[in-house]
């Protein structure tokens, strides 16, 4: 009853959540908590996508896994956990790599896509699918002591390429640069909240949020649609 009794969601919003089909890409630190929250909220269907296995360095921050999960696939371990949490959400495991050739098959038929990936190539694939299918998605990123998130709604908000016009695939990974282990869960909880607002049709979404809990900062930045955006200009 937690959501039904909450004025901001109520029975009407809860009904929308219970009919939602979500695709979640990447089951690292950010994807782990979001997967749990979507299922605990009672979405109809959650498709979890990750090609990777679990290794010991993941356990510092990826809250779906323990030491007895090492070398299991992330999709397999997460699905087992989610099915323990509740048994009335359909969980679909997809242990594939998301790329331009698999995107339509993996991502179609969902109301919203949640990005828990760690690279811009995958996010660009999600962005392209979002724009041609009209599916909203939530961008997330976390490294060091900070992270960011943004709801992207085709035809309504700016897209990924509006604020990252040039893709730079070279970047340090979380294990290379280091990451405060609370940060993925903090960003995940906030980005998940943005996802629920999108599902409920709340218009107060779409800004880029930059959060650094170590420095007690939260910046909210309005990103306008770029008329010359290479991805969304003229398409929506
Ligand atoms: Zn754009």
With CA atoms as reference, report the closest residue to 42 among 92, 1, 95.
Answer: 1
Q: What is the pLDDT of residues 196-228, one digit of tens each?
A: 999 999 999 999 999 999 999 999 999 999 999
pLDDT reported for residue 205: 97
Place of tokens 């690279």: 119
The answer to whether the beta carbons of residues 94 and 109 sit under 8 Å apart is no
pTM of the model: 0.96
CA of 148 from ligand 1 middle (Å) equals 18
Q: What is the pLDDT of residues 53-73, one digit of tens each?
A: 999 999 999 999 999 999 899
CA of 154 from ligand 1 middle (Å) equals 9
CA of 22 from ligand 1 middle (Å) equals 22
- Angle at 173 (CA atoms; ends 172, 176), nearest 5 degrees: 80
pLDDT reported for residue 176: 80
Could you tell me if residue 226 is inside a domain?
A: no
pLDDT reported for residue 235: 67
Could you tell me if residue 142 is inside a domain?
A: yes
pLDDT reported for residue 177: 85
Could you tell me if residue 172 is inside a domain?
A: yes
CA of 12 from ligand 1 middle (Å) equals 32
Query: What does the alpha-carbon distance between residue 130 and residue 111 come to, in Å, rounded to a whole number?
Result: 10
Task: Provide the number of structural domains found in the chain.
Answer: 1
CATH code where residue 151 lies:
3.40.50.720
CA of 32 from ligand 1 middle (Å) equals 28
CA of 85 from ligand 1 middle (Å) equals 37
Could you tell me if residue 50 is inside a domain?
A: yes
pLDDT reported for residue 1: 75
pLDDT reported for residue 111: 97
Query: What does the alpha-carbon distance between residue 177 and residue 173 come to, in Å, rounded to a whole number?
Result: 6
CA of 157 from ligand 1 middle (Å) equals 8
Query: What does the alpha-carbon distance between residue 47 and residue 10 come to, in Å, rounded to a whole number?
Result: 25
Could you tell me if residue 5 is inside a domain?
A: no
CA of 228 from ligand 1 middle (Å) equals 8
Q: Please list, in sequence order, all residues whose beta carbon lies within 8 angstroms of the beta carbon of residue 101, skipping any fewer than 6 positions away.
A: none
Query: What does the alpha-carbon distance between residue 138 and residue 159 come to, in Å, rounded to a whole number?
Result: 10
CA of 143 from ligand 1 middle (Å) equals 24
82: containing domain: 10-221
CA of 139 from ligand 1 middle (Å) equals 13
pLDDT reported for residue 169: 59
Could you tell me if residue 143 is inside a domain?
A: yes
Could you tell me if residue 236 is inside a domain?
A: no
Q: With a cut of 50, which residues of the chain have pLDDT below it?
A: none
pLDDT reported for residue 150: 98
CA of 191 from ligand 1 middle (Å) equals 20
Token pair recorded at residue 10: 């109520």
pLDDT reported for residue 44: 98
Query: What does the alpha-carbon distance between residue 16 and residue 199 come to, in Å, rounded to a whole number?
Result: 7
Could you tell me if residue 75 is inside a domain?
A: yes
CA of 227 from ligand 1 middle (Å) equals 8
């Amino acid at each position: 009853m937690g959501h039904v009794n909450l004025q901001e969601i109520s029975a009407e919003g809860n009904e929308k959540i219970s009919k939602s089909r979500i695709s979640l890409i990447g089951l690292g630190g950010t994807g782990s908590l979001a997967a749990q929250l979507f299922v605990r909220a009672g979405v109809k269907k959650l498709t979890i996508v990750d090609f990777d296995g679990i290794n010991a360095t993941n356990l510092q921050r990826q809250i779906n896994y323990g030491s007895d999960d090492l070398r299991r696939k992330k999709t397999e371990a997460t699905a087992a956990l989610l099915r323990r949490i509740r048994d009335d959400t359909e969980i679909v495991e997809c242990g594939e790599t998301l790329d331009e050739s698999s995107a339509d098959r993996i991502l179609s038929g969902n109301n919203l896509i949640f990005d828990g990936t760690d690279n811009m190539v995958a996010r660009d694939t999600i962005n392209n699918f979002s724009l041609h299918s009209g599916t909203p998605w939530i961008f997330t990123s976390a490294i060091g002591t900070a992270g960011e998130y943004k709801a992207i709604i085709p035809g309504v908000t700016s897209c990924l390429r509006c604020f990252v016009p040039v893709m730079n695939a070279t970047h340090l990974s979380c294990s290379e640069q280091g990451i405060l282990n609370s940060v993925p869960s903090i960003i995940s909880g906030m980005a998940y909240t943005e996802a629920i607002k999108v599902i409920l049709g709340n218009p107060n979404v779409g800004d880029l949020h930059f959060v650094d809990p170590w420095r007690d900062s939260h910046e909210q930045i309005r990103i306008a649609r770029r008329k010359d955006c290479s991805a969304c200009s003229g398409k929506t």
